[in-house]
Amino acid sequence: METIEKMQNKTANRLTEKQIKRKVGEAWALLENPVYNEKQVFQSAELLYYNADKVKVLEESKKFEKGHFALFYFGTPDPNVIYLL
């Protein structure tokens, strides 16, 4: 029963991409258990931490040792910067 309650709480904390973007604004976000659709487009995740300063988000990420995490930028990309993936 305890496992079921934990799983229900986990899904209750899950936010869609639009909800996270609305909450975070123009900032970096640390996400746990991101979900992608069949085209590998981000759908939802659990928001752990966000800040406009990427360094602060990276420092916060060091607190988590196990799990599936992602670092996303929800702001507008700079058109003068080339991004390598």
**Who has greater pLDDT, 11 or 62?**
62
pLDDT at residue 12 is higher than 90: no
- pTM beyond 0.85: no
Among candidates 72, 67, 73, 71, which has minimal Cα distance to 10? 67
Break the chain into its structural domains and give their ranges. 2-73
pLDDT at residue 4 is higher than 50: no
What burial class does residue 5 get, using C-beta atoms within 10 Å of its C-beta: 0-12 exposed, 13-18 middle, 19+ buried? exposed
- The C-alpha angle 30, 31, 33, rounded to 5 degrees, equals 150
**What is the Cα gyration radius of the chain?**
14
pLDDT at 46: 96
Mean pLDDT of 27-40: 95
d(CA 5, CA 52): 33
